[in-house]
Structure 1
Amino acid sequence: MLPNVESFYDPSTGTVSHIVYECEGSPSAIIDPVLDYDIVSCRISTKSLERMIRFIERCRLSVEWVLDTHVHADHLSGAAELKRRIGGRTGIGQGLLDVQRIFGVTSEAGDYVGYDHLFEPDEAFRIGNLHARAIATPGHTLSDSAYLVGDALFAGDSLFMPELGSARCDFPGGDAQALYESIGRLLGLPDSTRLFVCHDYPQAGQPARVFTTIGEQRRHNIHLRDGVTESEFVALRTTRDQSLRAPALMSIVLPVNLRGGGLAE
């Protein structure tokens, strides 16, 4: 069964969010929703979420899952707010616990989750009649997980469009060797698999691109096309990461996203 995917681009953070569903009136999952934050006014708004909610209402979809592919460092997760507004269970990979330990995020009981469900590596689940699988993809962060729904792969930050390459690995817990292995698992999927990205950064005046295919990635990805060795990738990624600045919103969004996107009342 081939799922339908509707994608939403947020130009202020370069983030792509997705809704995956079978047909009108069916259950759905929302992946990597954005809660808007204006760094100048320090105000939070829900304009990106409202676009998704309007689509859900127009197509008469129910929401079974609200999923994050990882703990985001460049935008506020809209997972908790969407759950509050339209329901669904929130989920992320179980590597979240490792990231929370790194940053010392704990509850009074000594642990902290913040999501309704933590996916184990290769855990199968369903979105209505759609079969889905969570694929652990550590490397960018320890929490990264891709979601394969039918022929649609939601890769998070592990892979960008072929001309942009791959995600940085210099955050705490990041590891270029681990990312090489994670991407290798994704590139082992059939060439026809649709790959939906979490970010795109188009040139001025150009539209954002939201999906490619595994075959395109294997032929054209500037960091990890066929034939690139692990040592070559690690060297390239390490050099590249040394030149990158921290995301502009990182210090603001991390404390929230480490707790599942929940804001204090």
Structure 2
Amino acid sequence: MDTVVRHSPSTQPGTPDVWGIYEPDTGSIQYLVADPKTSEAALIDVVQDFDPRSGRTQFTSADKVLELAREEKLKIVWVLDTHPHADHFMASHYLKEKLGVPNAIGAKVTDIAELWRGYYHLPESFAPHEDFERLFAEGDSFRIGELDVKVWLSPGHTLGSITYLVGDAAFVHDTFMYPDSGTARADFPGGSASELWDSLQRILSLPDATRLFNGHDYCKDGREPMWEATVAEHKAKNIHLSGDISKEQYLELREERDATLALPDRMLHALQVNLRAGQLPEPEADGHRYLKIPLNRF
């Protein structure tokens, strides 16, 4: 499948233009979010390409997103991620260096780093406070042009996932899937189906017209990739949440589903890169870079 790009225009003053850029290898959605008044913009969850069979990395996907920004005459002022991704390498450091703008992620990435230092037996590795210029906590805010952006901690998928609220748009990462696919898994280290439920309910408390932009889509039943739906649409149609489902029923559904899922094929590669903002490990004595894969831990 080719890269799919879709524009969700600003709905009224104070709301953003949003472009979703679908990355087919991992089913990830990358976002370009812009203030239509000033043309300042942010990038969210942009992908660094990685082939787990050959170990090759490149920035083709990230460069396509930058080309779209140039075509739309946008000035990128932030490089944002919602969490350390398990299924793709992030392009945060590459974009920060290329554009000369700050990169950011949630503050609890430091707790995730501590967790994975143990899994990788790399006690001196990972310094998120050095590799990200801003670590956002619950309730923090910043601006994209004249648009206010609020940060919500939205744990469940990971213990440190955050949501970005920009006008009538919410970038809800791996909480919701598209309504016909339900919600995201919560079985990774530090994840919690109970916390995910609470995060989902908080997001659903936003106004019904709020545009929710999720982090992944796997093209259910062969349909085109989809990633935008309103709060009202999720309330009415989300297969895991619509109706009068209770928290207890949701937890049973989510945990039974998660028990059937394999780990993403890039997960053990990706976390040690993404906890460095997408930087590869330093070269060893032979000039090459190497990843460390824990065996028989999962």
TM-score (norm 1): 0.94
Tell me the percent identity: 38
* Counterpart for residue 50 of structure 2: 37
* Counterpart for residue 158 of structure 2: 141
The code of the aligned residue for 1:32 comes to: D
Q: CA deviation at 1:206?
A: 2.9
Distance 1:128 1:58, change over 3 A: same
Distance 1:110 1:257, change over 3 A: closer
1:103 lines up with 2:116 in the alignment: yes
1:251 lines up with 2:251 in the alignment: no
For these two proteins, the number of residue pairs brought into alignment is 265
Query: d(CA) in 1 for partners of 2:85 and 2:39?
Result: 28
Gaps of 5+ in 1: none
1:215 lines up with 2:232 in the alignment: yes
Q: Which of 169, 176, 182 is matched with 2:193 structurally? A: 176
The higher radius of gyration belongs to: 2
Q: CA deviation at 1:58?
A: 1.9
* Counterpart for residue 8 of structure 1: 21
Structure having greater relative contact order (Cα 8 Å, sep ≥ 6): 1
Gaps of 5+ in 2: 1-13, 283-298
* Counterpart for residue 35 of structure 2: 22
Asked if structure 2 preserves the Cα contact closer than 8 Å seen for 1:24 and 1:61, the reply is: no
Query: d(CA) in 2 for partners of 1:204 and 1:99?
Result: 34
* Counterpart for residue 102 of structure 2: 89
* Counterpart for residue 55 of structure 1: 68
1:185 lines up with 2:192 in the alignment: no
Task: Give the match's secondary structure for 1:180.
Answer: helix
1:195 lines up with 2:212 in the alignment: yes
* Counterpart for residue 8 of structure 2: none
Larger displacement relative to structure 2 (202-211 or 220-229): 202-211
Summarize deviations over 1:161-183 as a string: whole Å, max 9, x none: 01111111111111111111111
Asked if structure 2 preserves the Cα contact closer than 8 Å seen for 1:140 and 1:170, the reply is: yes
Asked if structure 2 preserves the Cα contact closer than 8 Å seen for 1:25 and 1:60, the reply is: no
Task: Give the match's secondary structure for 2:180.
Answer: coil
Q: CA deviation at 1:110?
A: 9.1
Asked if structure 2 preserves the Cα contact closer than 8 Å seen for 1:176 and 1:237, the reply is: yes
Distance 1:172 1:88, change over 3 A: same
Asked if structure 1 preserves the Cα contact closer than 8 Å seen for 2:37 and 2:146, the reply is: no
Q: CA deviation at 1:39?
A: 2.0
The code of the aligned residue for 2:238 comes to: N
TM-score (norm 2): 0.84
Asked if structure 2 preserves the Cα contact closer than 8 Å seen for 1:190 and 1:214, the reply is: yes
The code of the aligned residue for 2:166 comes to: V
